[in-house]
Amino acid sequence: MTADQLSKNKQLVEDFIQDLFTKGDTGAVERYLDPGFVSHDPPFPGAPEGPEGMRQAAVLFRRALPDWHSDVEQLVAEGDLVVEVFTASGTHRGELMGVPGTGRTITLRGVNVFRVAGDRIAERWGVLDQLALLAQLGLTSPGSP
């Protein structure tokens, strides 16, 4: 794979993340994800499979945290894979996981691996720091297993 294609794959992932999660543009799902997109690790418990799960994740977070934005700390591309290391945050204004808005800043860190096929994202594997998110919402203590 050429350096130019690797750069294009990284830009595709960056644009998808910024459009969907930072801007809240749910149409990004149709623009960037392959219709057969598979999320091997659902973005939240009970999320639907496929592209709709990603759309609902964005809606869930932006409804609860209207200024939600994702800061990409690192993008690494090799072959058809792009690895994203990110920190996302926003002000907790609405209900999230049963917890009413607190006005506090909520932060979520994670790593996603995306597989690009042609000009679309075809697969996602992700690890999100859900324990830290639960602790910030007061649903568990930071030292809980």
Chain-centre distance for alpha carbon 30: 16
Q: Can you give the pLDDT at residue 142?
A: 63
- Mean local confidence (pLDDT), 7-28: 97
As a whole-number percent, the residues of the chain with pLDDT over 70 amount to 97
| Domain range list for the chain | 3-136
Domain boundaries 3-136, corresponding CATH code: 3.10.450.50
What pLDDT digit, counting tens, does each position of 19-66 carry?
999 999 999 999 999 999 999 988 877 888 899 999 999 999 999 999
Q: Which helix (H) or strand (E) holds 15?
A: helix 3-17
Strand partners, 123: 38, 115
pLDDT score, position 28: 98
Output phi, psi for 9, to 5 deg: -65, -40
Sheet of 69-78: strands edge to edge? 33-39, 120-128, 105-117, 81-91, 69-78
Tell how strand 69-78 and strand 81-91 pair up. Answer: antiparallel
Q: Does the pLDDT at position 143 exceed 70?
A: no
What values do phi and psi take at 102, rounded to 5? -115, -15
Of the candidates 24, 14, 105, the one whose C-alpha atom is nearest the C-alpha of residue 58 is: 24
| pLDDT for the residue numbered 11 | 97
For the cut 60, the answer to whether the pLDDT of residue 144 exceeds it is no
Share of the chain above pLDDT 90, in %: 88
Question: What is the distance between the alpha carbons of residues 72 and 131, in angstroms, rounded to a whole number?
Answer: 20
* CA 121 centroid distance within chain: 13
Query: What is the pTM (predicted TM-score) of this model?
Result: 0.92
